[in-house]
Structure 1
Amino acid sequence: MGNQFLSSLEVMTSCSQCPTVLLDAETLVSCGLLETLKFSVLELQEHLDTYNSKREAAEQWLDNCRKTFGDKDSNQRPNTQAQQMEMLAELELCRRLYKLHFQLLLLFQAYCKLVSRVDTIKREAEVTNMSEELAILESCLKEAESVGDGQQGVGEFEVDQSSTETAIHSLIESLRARDFSTAIAQVKAFRCLWPNDIFGNERDDAVQTLLHIYFRHQTLGQTGCLAVVGPSRDLSQASARLMELNLQIREALCQAATHPHTHQTHILSPTPTAHIQTQIDTQNTVLSTEL
């Protein structure tokens, strides 16, 4: 089962970067995306809360196992009742990890549905899709940022920035002139002049801030504009792979549950392991219907 868990982690890590969606308020409502967002956020929050609850339960069970059985190598101990109790505890831990993995799968699928809905909207005829334009701009800005030229100070700009409006105009002119290093330096400098304004703060990504400002300026007085910037890989393949791995984990767990050694234990006296056995019996009753 360990290999399947690691494979799932690799799949989710490969999809960890979320796209940035830019659109005007009217388009948000007219395309029905606002209602989609409301239900999607509620669904995501529900799955996340359940995931956190199951994660805490799995962590608690793991801590109990360590306190009861320690970290000794079970292969070096005789085939005793204590050893078999430890095997049962490990099996229960695997059950909890499976339920945790399944909840993570539901969370990922809910996220995929939301991304798919946004991807569908940008292809509608009444929507002006600016994704390619913004993607090119993002690439240029990131390249300029990686060079490290955008480190000028506030006093190094010749334009007198008396207000945020003139500052924004100066930024747009830099972007139109393809002077991306200057634009990055400007937005960082303007944050010192107008902290927590449209230019964000020092913790915000300068490239993302510039993309927002550029999109807002280009769509001023317009409606029906939308841009999706960032990873655009097909998440359906990742979702299918995670479902396949989940079924493999479930099958492995079912095989482990029917292993002969898991049915040879009898409680002879009230010991610390007996307390865990009582919990295992209770969980087995609950989980048997799900496996």
Structure 2
Amino acid sequence: MSSRLRGGLSAALIALACLLVPFGALAAWAAYGLTDGERWVATLAPLSRDPDVRDAIADTVGDGLAREVSVAGPAGRDVPAFVHDAVRSFTRTPAFATAWDAGNRATHDAVLRALRDGRTGSVTVDLAPVTAQVKDQLAHDHVPLASRIPVEHTEVAVLPAQDLDRLRKGFHVLEVAGFWLPVSAVVLAAAGIALSVHRRRAIVATALGTALGGALLGLSLAIGRMLTLEDLPTDVSRAAVGAVYDALTGTLRTCAWLLLALGVTVAVGTRFSRYLRPDRLLRARRGSAAPAPAPAQPPTRVRA
């Protein structure tokens, strides 16, 4: 194989490997990070202490509970304020953190079960256990009318039926791609470096391409966050959704920074390692140890 052909094939393999880096990281995150129930709950658990998330939940749950409680007369006008204050206080208790984790676990299990089996229809979650915990906490705090809050099995749709088939197909693709894309990127990069005529240059190019892939991944996450917040309805808290987005994509952001740092470090180290080769160091040492030539003596003039 000619050196020109080897160089072209090496460049193509390295370019393809670098192109697969951000997609491989994204697929692996979706296939292994989002499908782990315990990791999902642990990732979202700190949000139970986020002020924006607390306020959004207090407003949503408070509105729902206030609609369920009907009191005639002037006292009925004070019920929504009592309920909202009570729910807001509840979000600052350990019981809320427990209910938050339980709700996230139930939602994750329901969605994942629907994506992996062949069920049809909307994916729903029963909020009765969460409502019961809220009611018990309100009654324990002697909140007026807390005992009149009904605890009913309310099925809340978290995944519409019309989106289930499309998401199921995409999920199966991600499960396969989450393993094979990163492996393919490594194999292609190794093959490109092995075929290269100038392997040092190939390693530098691969490292810089990896760093560029990490930068593109980080940029994509920032653009995705912006687009997600722009498409929200007006009655949804942007700060709360932003906090959830940041929590879910935290691993990806870390991966993007690691790819960027690793690529730049390997590229710089490989580029300057040629100056540290033993033969170069030996020649430099010999050159510095060689004696300097003696200065030329002026010719001696002999008198006749």
**TM class by smaller structure:** under 0.3
Relative to the length of structure 1, the TM-score reads 0.24
Larger % of helix: which?
A: 2
Larger Rg: 2
Relative to the length of structure 2, the TM-score reads 0.24
